[in-house]
Amino acid sequence: MALFGLFSKEKKETLDKGLEKTKDSFFSKLGRAVVGKSTVDEEVLDEVENVLISSDVGVETTVKIIRRIEERVARDKYMGTDELDRILREEIAALLSDNNTSDVPDDFDLPVGKKPYVIMVVGVNGVGKTTTIGKLAAQFHKRGKQVVLGAGDTFRAAAVDQLKLWGDRVGVPVISHGMNTDPSAVAFDAVKKATDMNADVVIIDTAGRLHTKINLMNELTKIKRVMQKVTPDAPHEVLLVLDGSTGQNAFIQATEFTKATEVTALAITKLDGTAKGGVVIGISDQFKIPVKYIGVGEKIEDLQTFNKMEFVDSFFKK
């Protein structure tokens, strides 16, 4: 499959490397599933189903993929196991194209006419939320965008301090009221600062607690309402950060947060350290929320905009 648009050789190599553990695990399981078999029959499909589920693609998405392959087998009458890689690749690509996961421009573009563009970032503690915000800020700043950060996770001193460090590192202002302060006041001041500066984008961190859905919902609703006093249509994006290495737990977190607030985009982190990269396929399919960013390494450049065709290409690359 050819490279698409602005997808650079370096970025592609990073993506290939970041998905190595997932790919090796997947093909190892797939190889065992079809050993000694020459045709794709019911027994092989049962094994492929187990491989997809154990690769954290998720039950619902796996059932869809198997159903698509069954239809092809019925139509073509004969299908050899040597064709299975290609067929799986085609059907997974088609599935990602069928839902609303569209490719994001590779240059971290911001929508025209939304200035400052307000991103509210949500997710549980430990998923890489603050790091993702720092890397996003670095990517935008590198492209000449003026960025403001809001340290709205005021329940953890570490989160506030970490965001300040990222601000210093990248060279962008961080609005902070310290720990145990009102997160909505931080969000208000950050959006106000960004508006006064005529900044391009403001990114607001929020608390990563899932103590009860109702408290989380109330807190996020209040932050939105207060930001809207400055920018009536804020936030323009609610970005949910999920840790890809947690596999099925990421599905649970996505379910909880989509109940608590209107999530409009996803960032799936830590894919380089896990064999559970199939979670990207399942989550993008089941939640019909665009996967906008994926984390495939430690470096700033390893936070990539998600390109579904390149992802599938790297997933199946041997």
Annotated ligand binding at 56? The verdict is no
Longest dimension (CA), the chain: 68
Annotated ligand binding at 126? The verdict is yes
**Containing H/E element for 289?**
none
Annotated ligand binding at 81? The verdict is no
Annotated ligand binding at 144? The verdict is no
Cβ burial of 51 (10 Å; 0-12, 13-18, 19+) is buried
Annotated ligand binding at 147? The verdict is no
Q: Give the strand pairing for 117-122 and 291-295.
A: unpaired
Annotated ligand binding at 128? The verdict is yes
Annotated ligand binding at 270? The verdict is yes
Annotated ligand binding at 125? The verdict is yes
Question: Which amino acid is present at 254?
Answer: A
CA distance 315 to 71: 23
Q: Per this entry, what is the length of the chain?
A: 318
Annotated ligand binding at 130? The verdict is yes
Annotated ligand binding at 178? The verdict is no
Tokens for 73, please give them: 């087998």
Annotated ligand binding at 129? The verdict is yes
Tokens for 17, please give them: 């490397």
Annotated ligand binding at 209? The verdict is yes
CA distance 91 to 74: 15
Annotated ligand binding at 124? The verdict is yes
> What is the DSSP annotation of 144-175?
T--EEEE---TT-HHHHHHHHHHHHHHT--EE
Binding site members for GTP: 123-130, 205-209, 269-272
Binding site members: 123-130, 205-209, 269-272
